[in-house]
Amino acid sequence: MNHLVSSCSTDLTSRGSLQVHVVSIINHFPITGATVRISHTNRPAQTIEEVSTNLSGQTPQVTLDAPELSYSLVPGSPMPYAPYALEITAPGFKPKQISGTEILPDSLAIQPVALEPEGDPEPLPDPVVIPEHTLYGNYPPKIAETEVKPVHESGEIVLSRVVVPQTIVVHDGVPSDRSAKDYYVPYRDYIKNVASSEIYATWPQASITANVLAIMSFTLNRVYTEWYRNQGYDFTITSSTAFDHKWIYGRNIFESISLTVDEIFDNYLSRPDVKQPILTQYCDGRQVSCPNWMTQWGSCSLGERGYSPIEILRHYYGSSIYINTAEQISGIPASWPGYDLTLGSSGDKVRQLQEQLDAIASVYTAIPRVAADGFYGPATAAAVSEFQSIFGLPQTGVVDFRTWYKISHIYVGITRIAELT
């Protein structure tokens, strides 16, 4: 069910949607009955909508005013998103405030929130302030680097193969800033955050995919070469646009970007006879020019002209670049079987799926419990369908690639929680 919210602003002529996901920061279990108060950032005291979370810690989708679609498709336009302020409260937890949640037209924004318990002796958390989007605000341009790192340049490369890490350690500042915090972020969540910070979810699907591939390849190059650790640092990557990508603590992501990442998160970009992922650098193409790199606004234009993701990438990086797949995905209990699991499927992979799904259902109680009997019947399909509904996947009742790994991702978190408690 959508809640339609009108705006006092005359230039917000379109509509976008917002859903808030609220969990406990201690165990990441969903918080039922949390209250989310929504207002405009310039009028935070004036509530325009108030909603509550369900058994899965999620609010209904709220429809909010947003600028017209063309603003996000044409460089140099007025601000293409509407920033909103959120106040989140729940019994037994400290309140949290977020300012700057971005609502784009015809797009679903997903705002994650982790609340601290009231008994925690730490002071109230600082409000989360989401700065301007990189395509709208002013940020330092990327300092150029070679796209392939010689072994002797940064020390010995430790990894012998390309591995998708379970976690990225993000240094929230320039490398030399010792006062900046380090955040441990699941790999896919990191990519979704960066893509939501650096491109617009309203762009053509091919443009979104091309940019996500470039972001992932760059990130996996940092992982593979252990770039910062070989310089004496204890992190994987920074949040500085001068050195890496813009990652923003506490920001919202967008459904179209999230679905894209879940579909291709084990991919990266390669060149013939080069083992490491390519350090695919880019710029916006409006405030900064970057010959031989992809321009973000240019990728949007090519997508509108019907280019495929690989055609967009080859337009900028040359014809030798191609999409590769990582040899290993870290932190998962079992790998994708290579085919969809659906009604009538049976065997060990189905049993593994059922065990993981039933563990998740013990926490996300809207999901029906399932028996691990190794047979994919209507009860398993119903549980999968409800899982897909909760976690923003197409509700097919079929376990495809992204459903398998989304189940694994949630299961690993719950298993880790059980070990800790």
Which position has the higher pLDDT, 126 or 128? Answer: 128
pLDDT at 160: 72
Spatial neighbors of 193 by CB under 8 A, at least 6 apart, are: 185, 247, 248, 251, 253
For 8-20, what is the mean pLDDT? Answer: 82
Separation of CA 8 from chain center: 31
Q: Are residues 24 and 41 in the same domain?
A: yes
Query: Is residue 372 domain-resident?
Result: yes
For 73-89, what is the mean pLDDT? Answer: 96
How high is the mean pLDDT of the chain?
A: 92
Identify the CATH number of the domain in which residue 91 sits.
2.60.40.10
* Structural domain range at position 405: 334-420
Q: Are residues 341 and 403 in the same domain?
A: yes
- pTM given for the model: 0.92
Domain count, the chain: 3
Last residue of a domain, one of 328, 357, 387: 328
Q: Are residues 120 and 35 in the same domain?
A: yes
Q: How many CB atoms lie within 10 A of CB 33?
A: 12
Query: Is residue 136 domain-resident?
Result: no
Query: Is residue 143 domain-resident?
Result: no
Length of the chain: 421
Confidence of residue 153 (pLDDT cuts 50, 70, 90): very low
pLDDT 10s digits, 102-114: 999 999 999 999 9
Q: Is the pLDDT of residue 420 over 60?
A: no
pLDDT 10s digits, 200-217: 999 999 999 999 999 999
Q: Are residues 68 and 210 in the same domain?
A: no
For 57-80, what is the mean pLDDT? Answer: 96
Task: Please check whether residue 64 is in contact with residue 7, taking contact to mean a CB–CB distance below 8 angstroms.
Answer: yes
Q: Are residues 159 and 289 in the same domain?
A: yes
Q: Are residues 299 and 342 in the same domain?
A: no
Confidence of residue 287 (pLDDT cuts 50, 70, 90): confident
Task: Please check whether residue 141 is in contact with residue 283, taking contact to mean a CB–CB distance below 8 angstroms.
Answer: yes
Query: Is residue 294 domain-resident?
Result: yes
Integer Cα distance of 151 and 391 in angstroms: 40
Confidence of residue 2 (pLDDT cuts 50, 70, 90): very low
pLDDT at 29: 92
Out of 46-50, 149-153, 257-261, 351-355, least confident range? 149-153
Q: Are residues 118 and 235 in the same domain?
A: no
pLDDT at 123: 79
Q: Are residues 75 and 14 in the same domain?
A: yes
Q: Is the pLDDT of residue 239 over 80?
A: yes
What are 289's two structure tokens? 């020019």
Query: Is residue 144 domain-resident?
Result: no
Confidence of residue 334 (pLDDT cuts 50, 70, 90): confident
Q: Is the pLDDT of residue 9 over 50?
A: no
**In this prediction, what percent of the chain has a pLDDT beyond 70?**
94
Query: Is residue 139 domain-resident?
Result: no
